[in-house]
Structure 1
Amino acid sequence: MRRRTDKPAAVRFVRYRPMPATRGALALRPAPPRTHPPRPPGLRLVRPADGVEAEVRAVADAAVRLIVEVLAGTRPTHQLSLVAVPAVCRELLHRAAPSLAGRRVVPPRVLSCRTQRPARAIAETTAVVVIAGRVHALALRLDHTRGRWRCTALETTAR
């Protein structure tokens, strides 16, 4: 068996697989009755009115928008260097769509974007986006280092 000596990639593309049909039956199992009071969630949704949280939210929204435009081919990859680490930029450079300059293109859209803070210097963002008329999922990890937030990992279903 051959061992991998290189580090895992910063960007991971996930192939979409549809769920099997349920033939009219509900695919949900009824929830068991609660015997203890519910715990407060460990993660919380970032609200735009929070001080530092507003900065994280703004950076996350900008990063999602930039990455979606790079994946769609409407923005050059080198512009990601403002919000992403070099490893993410390199991976997207090899996998991004060719430039569509001069062609009529439907611009990509961000349908929804959610941000959570599992730790003080870490933010995780998920987004639902439309690229070339297809809906895709996007997940980013933002780390706060040297006074700024940067995308250090990316996972998407977009090709």
Structure 2
Amino acid sequence: MRRRTSTREAVRIVRYRPPATQGALALRPVAVPVRGPGLRVVRPGDGVEAEVRAVAGAAVRLVVEVLAGTRPAHQLSLVAVPAVCRVVASHGGVGTRGRRVVPPKVLSSRVQRPSPAVAEAVAVVVVAGRVHALALRLEHARGRWRCTALETTAP
């Protein structure tokens, strides 16, 4: 039986190109939502959702810190498969040697569950003073959630 090789990459770096404008900026005022305190009602059976959100948040922070050069790449192996770790490690901290490293920030993040064993997380992050998008796919296997795919606009 022949084994099919997958052409899908584990990590994809997307180069951002701003839309072309005709000499005028398309700006409009943005309303800033007011958030209440971080309290929420805990319902029975919410343990899995809370676990997924915690793992996704940790994975986003780890990936962003490795990309920014503030965290060693080997620590990413806690939440990611080896293919993702290798690619992120090769891109992480690029251009930060000899310069002051600005700590990255996670501005916002969202998690959704397309199936019981799969979660997808998206985040807006700041790396080296620039805003970037980050998308992760988490899969549950052998009792753990692991990042199996990553897409980002960060360098």
Q: TM-score range by the shorter chain?
A: 0.7 to 0.9
**TM-score when normalising by structure 2:** 0.78
Q: Deviations over 1:40-83 (max 9, x none)?
A: xxxxxxx8942210000000000000000000011111100010
C-alpha distance in structure 2 between counterparts of 1:78 and 1:99, whole Å: 19
Q: Deviations over 1:90-130 (max 9, x none)?
A: 11122222595886322100000100000000000000000
Report the count of equivalent residues. 135
* Per-residue deviation, 1:22: 6.4
* Per-residue deviation, 1:21: 2.4
In structure 2, what is the equivalent of residue 126 of structure 1?
Answer: 122
> Structure 2 unaligned runs (5+)?
27-39
**TM-score when normalising by structure 1:** 0.76
In structure 1, what is the equivalent of residue 135 of structure 2?
Answer: 139
1:31-70 equivalence runs, <5 A: 49=42, 50-70=46-66
In structure 2, what is the equivalent of residue 15 of structure 1?
Answer: 15
**Cα pair distance change 1:95/1:65, threshold 3 Å:** same
C-alpha distance in structure 1 between counterparts of 2:59 and 2:41, whole Å: 16
Q: State the AA in 2 paired with 1:20.
A: A
> Structure 1 unaligned runs (5+)?
27-46
Q: State the AA in 2 paired with 1:143.
A: E
Q: State the AA in 2 paired with 1:137.
A: A
* Per-residue deviation, 1:148: 0.6
C-alpha distance in structure 2 between counterparts of 1:95 and 1:103, whole Å: 17
**Rg bigger for which structure?**
1
Contact kept, 8 Å, 1:73 with 1:99, in 2: the verdict is: no
